[in-house]
Amino acid sequence: MKLFYSPASPFVRKVMIVALEHNVADSIEKLACAAGPIKRDMSIVAQNPLGQVPTAISDDGVALYDSRVICEYIDAAHGGSLFGSGAARWRNLVDQSVGDGILDAALLIRYENLARPAELKCVDWEIGQYGKINSALDLLEGRAAALADRMDIGTITIGSALGYLDFRFAEFDWRTAHPALAAWFAGFASHPSMVATFPVV
C-alpha cells in the first residue's frame, strides 16, 4: 500500500496506529505531499478529488479515502479485530465518530486561526466548535471506565483526538474537567503504536 502522508495529521495517525497494531506498517510506502486547507496537492487530487490526507493506494491500485475507509480496509485484510462484530462493532464505530467529531471541530478552529485574516475571524464560530469538543469530552468522561483495556477503532480514534488537542491546543486544559478520561489517556498513550506515531511538525 502507498499512503499520502503528513506526520502532523491525526487522521494519518489513526491509519498508522491500525497498521502498527497489525504489524504491517513497514509495508506502507509513505508518499511525500503538501496537502493543506487552502492549496491542494495535485498529486493527491489525481487519486482523491478532495485532495486530502490520508489517501491510500492499495496494492491492486484502488484509491482509498478517508481515514475511516483506510483503517477498515487494513483491519479487514487482517482479521477485523479492531472494528469487531455485533454489538461491539457498533460501539466501536460510535466511539470512532465521537473522536472524529472532536478532530473535525479542532481542525476547523485551527484553520480559522491559521488561514483566515484577523478582521474576518468569527468568535462565535470558534466558540461553537469548542462547544462540540467540550460536549464530546463530557460524554467520554462518563464512559471512561468502559474504555479501559480496549484497543479498537473507537479507542484509537479517541486517543488520536486527545493527542491532537495536546499537540495543537496546548493551552486548552481539557484534563481538569475530565480527570477519568485524562487517566485513561495517560495509559493509552503509552501503547507502543501511540508512542511511535506521536505527531511532529
Q: Give which of 85, 48, 49 is closest to 64, Cα–Cα.
A: 48
Domain of 186, CATH number, reads 1.20.1050.10
3-class DSSP state for residue 191?
coil
pTM as predicted: 0.96
Q: Is the dihedral of CA 66, 70, 73, 75 positive or negative?
A: negative
Q: What local confidence, expressed as pLDDT, does residue 200 receive?
A: 82
Report if residue 101 sits inside a domain.
Answer: yes
Q: Is the dihedral of CA 101, 65, 3, 193 positive or negative?
A: positive
Residue ending a domain, among 25, 55, 76, is: 76
Which domain, by its residues, includes 93? 86-196
DSSP state of 175: S
User: Residue 126: CB partners within 8 Å, gap ≥ 6?
Assistant: 109, 112, 113
Report if residue 41 sits inside a domain.
Answer: yes
Q: Give which of 61, 110, 2, 104 is closest to 96, Cα–Cα.
A: 104
Q: Are residues 122 and 187 in the same domain?
A: yes
Domain of 40, CATH number, reads 3.40.30.10
Q: What local confidence, expressed as pLDDT, does residue 24 receive?
A: 98
Residue ending a domain, among 13, 45, 76, is: 76
Q: Give which of 145, 136, 127 is closest to 177, Cα–Cα.
A: 136
Q: Are residues 139 and 163 in the same domain?
A: yes
Is 158 in contact with 98 (CB distance < 8 Å)? yes
What totals of helices (H) and strands (E) does the chain contain, helices first? 8, 4
Q: Are residues 53 and 123 in the same domain?
A: no
Beta partners for residue 56, in sequence order: 3, 64
Q: What local confidence, expressed as pLDDT, does residue 21 receive?
A: 98
Report if residue 201 sits inside a domain.
Answer: no
Q: What local confidence, expressed as pLDDT, does residue 185 receive?
A: 98
The CA distance from 85 to 104, in Å, is 26
Q: Are residues 72 and 90 in the same domain?
A: no
Tens of pLDDT along the chain (201 residues)? 999 999 899 999 999 999 999 999 999 999 988 877 777 899 999 999 999 999 999 999 999 999 999 999 999 999 999 999 999 999 999 999 999 999 999 999 998 888 788 888 888 989 999 999 999 999 999 999 999 999 999 999 999 999 999 999 999 999 999 999 999 999 999 999 999 999 987
Give CA separation, 12 vs 66, 120, 142, in Å.
9, 30, 28
Q: How many domains does the chain have?
A: 2
Residue ending a domain, among 76, 98, 132, is: 76
